[in-house]
């Protein structure tokens, strides 16, 4: 029995060393070598300082910026430690009220915009952390951003087009616009 216990402990130590130390170090090193930007969190910088990640959304409320998709995380918006959807169903009064409030805020920020409000500007994603909006949601906001910043609307539309990412491998997912990357480009084009 003692021999079997000793063998079991040695196997446990060996597997812990391989799967808990060696393999993670190997994979981390390989990721740093082949994909350093992604392995370090896909961080975005402005003026030499990190301002966020391309993988986690951020709240933008100033009318001169493109607004992100709403977040449903609990403690504060876009809390990476509390990724979750709202769990509100289509018949939920709370969801209907939240959508109405968000749509009214969008209308108040751009009263002349009579276009239908894109659904991704009034509903949270499943994770509550989505850094992207649809190209339609970006185009919906382009006139407001251009007006507030005193830019030609065509220039803002061109920035939206430039920052629109296509489907993965041309097949998977939907076209999307990373809000933080677009707002950083907007700041470079017309500093505030």
Measure the N-to-C terminal CA separation of the chain; round to a whole number of Å.
74
The pLDDT of residue 153: 92
Angle between the 135-149 and 179-189 helix axes, to the nearest 10 degrees?
30
Q: By the 8 A CB rule, do 47 and 66 touch?
A: no
Per-residue pLDDT at 191? 67
Packing angle between helix 135-149 and helix 153-162, nearest 10 degrees?
A: 140
Q: Provide the residue-wise pLDDT of the chain in tens; the chain has 192 residues.
A: 888 999 999 999 999 999 999 999 999 999 889 888 888 878 888 888 887 888 888 888 889 999 999 888 777 788 777 777 777 888 889 889 989 999 999 999 999 898 999 999 998 888 888 899 999 999 999 999 999 998 999 999 999 999 999 998 888 989 999 999 999 999 888 766
Q: Rounded to an integer, what distance in angstroms lies between the CA atom of residue 134 and that of residue 158?
A: 15
Predicted TM-score (pTM) of the model is: 0.80
Do 160 and 181 touch, CB atoms closer than 8 A? Answer: no
């Amino acid at each position: 029995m003692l021999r079997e216990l000793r063998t079991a402990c040695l196997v446990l130590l060996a597997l812990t060393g391989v799967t808990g130390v060696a393999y993670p170090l190997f994979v981390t090193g390989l990721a740093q070598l082949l994909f350093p930007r992604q392995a370090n969190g896909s961080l975005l910088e402005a003026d030499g300082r990190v301002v966020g990640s391309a993988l986690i959304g951020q709240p933008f409320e100033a009318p001169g910026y493109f607004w992100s998709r709403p977040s449903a995380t609990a403690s504060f918006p876009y809390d990476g430690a509390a990724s979750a959807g709202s769990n509100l169903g289509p018949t939920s009064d709370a969801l209907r009220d939240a959508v109405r409030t968000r749509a009214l805020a969008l209308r108040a920020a751009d009263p002349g915009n009579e276009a239908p409000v894109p659904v991704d500007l009034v509903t949270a994603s499943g994770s509550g952390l989505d850094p992207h909006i649809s190209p339609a949601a970006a185009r919906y906001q382009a006139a407001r951003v251009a007006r507030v910043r005193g830019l030609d609307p065509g220039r803002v539309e061109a920035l939206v087009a430039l920052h629109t990412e296509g489907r993965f491998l041309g097949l998977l997912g939907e076209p999307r616009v990373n809000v933080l990357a677009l707002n950083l480009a907007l700041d470079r084009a017309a500093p505030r």
